[in-house]
Amino acid sequence: MFTLQNQCSSTVWPGTLSGNGAATLGEGGFALTPGSSIQLQAPPGWSGRFWARTGCAFDQSGAGKCVTGDCGGVLKCTGGGAPPVSLVEFTIATNPNEKDFYDVSLVDGYNVALGVKALGGSGDCQSAGCVTDLNVNCPTELRVVDSGSVVACKSACAQFNTPEFCCTGDHNTPQTCSPTPYSEVFKNACPTAYSYAYDDASSTCTCSGSDYLITFCPSGSR
């Protein structure tokens, strides 16, 4: 069972994307007003991701757009969120004795603080997330600005599209793709979140037989 709760001061529109042909949770997307929560039941073996969309406006047919995290101009996503966007990713075991894998990723940039906690379960069951408002400390060249406010922080890969920032070409292995000053800004702010593609050691979490609480703006930031 996933519980998604919104502690932001404004509405977010969570997007959900399922992998491996698994069931779509929450019909792909929905509105979540401040202080509200929703529970979504995932089948065994489910894998996918959740993210927050901000600044959205949809008509009665579900068509519209979001300032951040947009998934093709629809309320009910059928694809991923447009970067920059903070992600929480899961691979749920097929039986309760096996490990679930989960992480919070800033590889596609950052838009909203989020955290994930295991509820029950056994094993390491670490909490993960990025509870800091990275938009405040985002390097100038990575900022996404809307109506005078910083609404998201791009990854260095998205901004510069070079092998050393994207871990591609000659930099496509853990040995040849190292942290950069930009990824370290993300890592210093959010030590338990992926800051670049090969940031596995401190960022992948495991737990067995757990439910999960996903909180947007866990520290109550906007």
pLDDT at 200: 65
Judged against a pLDDT cut of 70, whether residue 66 lies above it is answered with yes
Give the integer Cα–Cα distance in Å for 177 and 150: 29
Give the integer Cα–Cα distance in Å for 83 and 149: 17
In sequence order, what are the residues at sequence separation of 6 or more whose Cβ sits closer than 8 angstroms to the Cβ of residue 113?
Answer: 86, 129, 130, 131, 132, 133, 134, 216, 217, 218, 219, 221
Structure pTM?
0.93
Give the pLDDT mean for 26-35: 97
Give the integer Cα–Cα distance in Å for 99 and 97: 7
Domain boundary assignment for the chain: 2-216
3-state helix, strand, coil in the chain (%, to 5): 15, 35, 50
CATH architecture of 2-216: Sandwich (2.60)
Percent of the chain with pLDDT over 90: 78
